[in-house]
């Protein structure tokens, strides 16, 4: 299956411009044969947290209409990265996923808020897993900082996910952590990890290096340090092969884990 990764240069606070650029890349990816298209985190606003009262998408309506319409028109699955939304007086960092029929199949608000960027001061945390199917592919999705919590990603894999999507705005100073953590999450969960980071100017300090990693830990693709669309062919059957050869899930002893991990 061909995966289109949109490593977008997100314009800080420029919502209309970001929607326009996202649509251009989605259409380009579909024309290039991508069957699943993935966007980065907070692509509608960037980290304009102080401006959320004026910028956030009310109930996510614009984002859902946009993603659902393009998914159906282009007959592609879209993992819509995440967008800043407003629900009542609260704000969330929310991922919407649409199948190629234009149906909303996944909705997830970031569970782990990143205090170093003051997310906890502006956003509310989600409290639900993000499990969905794209055709016959069982999948899960988390957002950026979530990857530092291995038990959270394992929860998705235990429920059948063969691929984990990770939209992010991961900063340049800790990009080595990004690479190492993503490989570890792929190996330990024996699944594909498809992680799409953003690009920004040097002031905001995000430099892409999105990744697709297969269950053995092999990196199939790493993005450049610039805006980019990559279309990568992925063979999801490898997941069953890996899980058969090294039966990690059969050898787990969860009764012991529950006693020591709280």
Question: Cα–Cα distance between 174 and 195 in angstroms, integer?
Answer: 15
Question: What confidence score (pLDDT) does residue 202 get?
Answer: 64
Are 106 and 140 spatial neighbours (Cβ–Cβ below 8 Å)?
no
Q: From the candidates 64, 110, 119, 138, which is the catalytic residue?
A: 110
Q: From the candidates 5, 144, 162, 191, which is the catalytic residue?
A: 144
Q: From the candidates 35, 41, 119, 138, which is the catalytic residue?
A: 41
DSSP 111-129: SS--GGGTHHHH-----S-
Question: Cα–Cα distance between 63 and 216 in angstroms, integer?
Answer: 35
Question: Cα–Cα distance between 113 and 111 in angstroms, integer?
Answer: 6
Per-residue confidence in pLDDT tens, the chain, 262 aa: 999 999 999 999 999 999 999 999 999 999 999 999 999 999 999 999 999 999 999 999 999 999 999 999 999 999 999 999 999 999 999 999 999 999 999 999 999 999 988 899 999 999 999 999 999 999 999 999 999 999 999 999 999 999 999 999 999 899 999 999 999 999 999 999 999 999 986 667 888 899 999 999 999 999 998 899 999 999 999 999 999 999 999 999 988 887 655 5
Q: What's the CATH number where 177 sits? A: 3.60.110.10
- Domain span at residue 24? 2-260
Question: Cα–Cα distance between 10 and 246 in angstroms, integer?
Answer: 40
110 is catalytic: yes
Contacts (Cβ under 8 Å, ≥6 apart) of 171: 205, 206
35 is catalytic: no
How buried is residue 156: exposed, middle or buried, by Cβ count under 10 Å (0-12/13-18/19+)?
buried
Question: What confidence score (pLDDT) does residue 257 get?
Answer: 82
Side-chain-facing half-sphere of 161: CA atoms under 13 Å: 27
User: Is the pTM value of this prediction over 0.85?
Assistant: yes
Provide the domain count of the chain.
1
């Amino acid at each position: 299956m061909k995966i289109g990764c949109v490593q977008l240069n997100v314009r800080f606070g420029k919502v209309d411009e970001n929607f326009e650029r996202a649509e251009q890349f989605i259409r380009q990816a579909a024309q290039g044969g991508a069957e699943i298209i993935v966007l980065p985190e907070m692509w509608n606003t960037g980290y304009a947290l102080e401006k959320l009262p004026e910028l956030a998408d009310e109930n996510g309506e614009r984002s859902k209409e946009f993603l659902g319409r393009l998914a159906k028109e282009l007959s592609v699955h879209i993992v819509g990265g995440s967008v800043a939304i407003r629900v009542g007086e609260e704000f969330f960092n929310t991922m919407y996923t649409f199948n190629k029929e234009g149906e909303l199949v996944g909705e997830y608000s970031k569970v782990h808020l990143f205090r170093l960027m003051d997310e906890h001061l502006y956003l509310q945390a989600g409290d639900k897993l993000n499990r969905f199917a794209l055709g016959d592919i069982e999948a899960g999705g988390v957002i950026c900082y979530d990857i530092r919590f291995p038990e959270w990603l394992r929860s998705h894999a235990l429920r059948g996910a063969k691929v984990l999507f990770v939209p992010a705005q991961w900063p340049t100073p800790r990009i080595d952590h990004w690479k190492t953590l993503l490989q570890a999450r792929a190996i330990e969960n024996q699944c594909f990890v498809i992680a799409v980071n953003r690009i920004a100017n040097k002031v905001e300090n995000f430099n892409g290096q999105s990744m697709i990693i297969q269950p053995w830990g092999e990196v199939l693709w790493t993005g450049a340090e610039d805006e980019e669309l990559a279309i990568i062919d992925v063979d999801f059957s490898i997941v069953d092969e890996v899980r058969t050869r090294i039966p990690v899930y059969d050898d787990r002893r969860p009764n012991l884990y529950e006693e020591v991990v709280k």
